[in-house]
Structures are given as structure tokens and as C-alpha cells.
Structure 1
Amino acid sequence: MELYESLFIIRPSVSDEETAALIEKMKGVADKTGAQFIKSENWGRKKLAYEVRRERKGTYAYFYFRAPNNTVGELERAYRLEDNIIKFLTIHLEKELVPRRPAEASAQEADGGRV
């Protein structure tokens, strides 16, 4: 299982209830392929750096998860099929975003690198 980060932008005209439902729908797509979510956040409505599909604002949604390789393809396919998603980006992470605390790191070294 690999570590991934995915960010997608939803049209600002979509209501809060529909936005929450859309985020859950995308989470469900990833869950079906075996993804394990570490973090899922709605960052709210923000101004875009440039106009995208005639929109100047968008609602940002963020996923941080572990998943098998096929998950990204399925998730991005679902993003493309959803008209209310105007932009998305998924990246593969080489290591975890939050470094381990010193106590955890020393315990791992004492255990021979196994956690």
C-alpha cells in the first residue's frame, strides 16, 4: 500500500449539503478499491489563483490516504466524470507528511526497524 494525497475543487454554486455528499461519494470510490483514509478534510470555499471553467472561487476538499496502485486511477476517473469537480490533483508521497516523534523513532530502531 502506497501513500497518497489528493486535492479536488468543487464548483462554488454547489450547496454545502451537496458538497458533503460529493466528498463522501469520492471517499466511497477510494474505499471500494481498498484505501485506508488517514485524513479527509473540507477546506471550504476559497478564491482560485486563476479562472477555471469560468469559476473564480471553489470549495477545496483534501484526502490523505494509503491505497493500492489501482485506487488513483479509479479516483481520478470518478473526478473526471463528476461535472461539479472543476480541478483535481493526486500525488504519490515517498514518506509520511508528519515525522514520527523521537520516542517512536527510538523504539523502532531498538526493535530492528519493525513497527
Structure 2
Amino acid sequence: MKAYELLYIVKPTLDDEAREAVLNSIKDIITETNGEVGEVDIWGSRKLAYPIQKFREGVYTLVNFKADVEFPKELDRRLKISEDVIRHVIVAQDEN
């Protein structure tokens, strides 16, 4: 398994329960494919560099996880479909 980092931004209009539901669904996607969820860091609401879907702010969350090499493609596909996630990026971590 390889280590990855997922940073995603959700709409600022979502309440705490909806943001928690998005995070839990991402964790479920990772664990159902035999991945391991590591540290989760909620950065909170921040101003965006440019408007995305007419939003000027977003709620940032960073998720570290380990998964098979093919898994990020599937996670990327599912996050693109999600209406609550306005941006995301998945980065492979360097092995130390």
C-alpha cells in the first residue's frame, strides 16, 4: 500500500452534520477497499483564491490514508460526482 494525502473543499453553506457526513463517506470509501485512514485535519473555513461555483469561501479538510495504487482513480471519480465537494486533490506521499 502507498501513502496518500487528500485535500478537499466543501461548500461553506453546509452545516456541521453535512460536513461530517461527507468526511464519513470518504472514510467509508477508503476502508471498503481495504485502505487505512490515517490522520484527519479539519482546517475550517478559508477564503478561496478565486470563486468556485460562485463561492468565495470553502471548508478545507486534509485526510491522510494508505491504499492500493489504483485506488486514487476511483476516489477521484467519486469526489467529482459529489455535489458537496467543490474541489479536491489527491497527492502521493514520498516514502521515507
> When the two structures are superposed, what TM-score results if normalisation uses the length of structure 2?
0.92
Is the aligned partner of 1:54 residue 2:51? no
Alpha-carbon displacement from aligned partner over 1:34-89 (angstroms, at most 9, x marks no partner): 11122112211111111111110001111111111122112111111111110000
**Matched-pair contact (CA < 8 Å) for 1:29–1:74:** no
Unaligned runs of 5+ in 1: 97-115
SS, match of residue 94 in structure 1: coil
Unaligned runs of 5+ in 2: none
SS, match of residue 13 in structure 1: coil
Max radius of gyration: which structure?
A: 1
Bigger relative contact order, structure 1 or 2, given CA contacts below 8 A and separation 6+? 2
Counting strand residues as a fraction of each chain, which structure ranks higher? 2
Distance in 2, Cα, partners of 1:50 & 1:2 = 32
The 5-angstrom pairing of residues 1-115 of structure 1 reads 1-95=1-95
> When the two structures are superposed, what TM-score results if normalisation uses the length of structure 1?
0.78
Q: What percentage of residue pairs aligned between the two structures are identical? A: 27
Alpha-carbon RMSD across the aligned residues, in angstroms, is 1.1
Aligned residues: 96
- Structure 1 runs (4+) deviating above 2 angstroms are none
Distance in 2, Cα, partners of 1:58 & 1:80 = 16
